[in-house]
Amino acid sequence: MKDLIKRILREEVSRKFTKGSSNAQSLIIKHMEKIISNTSRVLPPPEDVYGNYIEEWCKGGNIVMEAKYFFSDEDSDEEKFFAGDLYVDENEIEFLSKMLQVRKPFILNVITEWYDEKYATKFGQEMGHPEFEIDETITRDGISKCYQMIDVDSISREVMIDYLDKETLSRRNELEGLPDNKLKSKYRSVYNSRLNGIGNR
Render pLDDT for 96-121 as a digit per residue (tens, 0 to 9): 999 999 999 999 999 999 999 999 99
Comparing CA positions, the residue from 120, 128, 129, 147 lying closest to residue 44 is 147
For residues 70 and 64, give the distance between their C-alpha atoms in angstroms, rounded to a whole number. 20
How many CB atoms within 10 Å of residue 18? 21
Angle between helices 21-37 and 2-17 (to 10 degrees): 110
Task: State the pLDDT at residue 76.
Answer: 53
Q: Which amino acid is at 168?
A: T
Higher pLDDT, 142 or 127: 127
Q: Tell me how many helices (H) and strands (E) the chain has.
A: 8, 5
Predicted confidence at residue 18, as pLDDT, reads: 45
Confidence at 22, pLDDT banded by 50, 70, 90: confident
Q: What percent of the chain has pLDDT over 70?
A: 85
Domain positions in the chain are 2-140, 152-195
| pLDDT surpasses 60 at 13 | no
Residue 51's CB: how many other CB atoms inside 10 A? 12
Cα 34 to Cα 57: distance, rounded to the nearest angstrom: 12
Reported confidence tier of residue 89, pLDDT bands at 50, 70, 90: very high
Q: Return mean pLDDT, the chain.
A: 87
pLDDT tens digit string along 128-163? 999 999 999 999 988 889 998 888 899 999 999 999
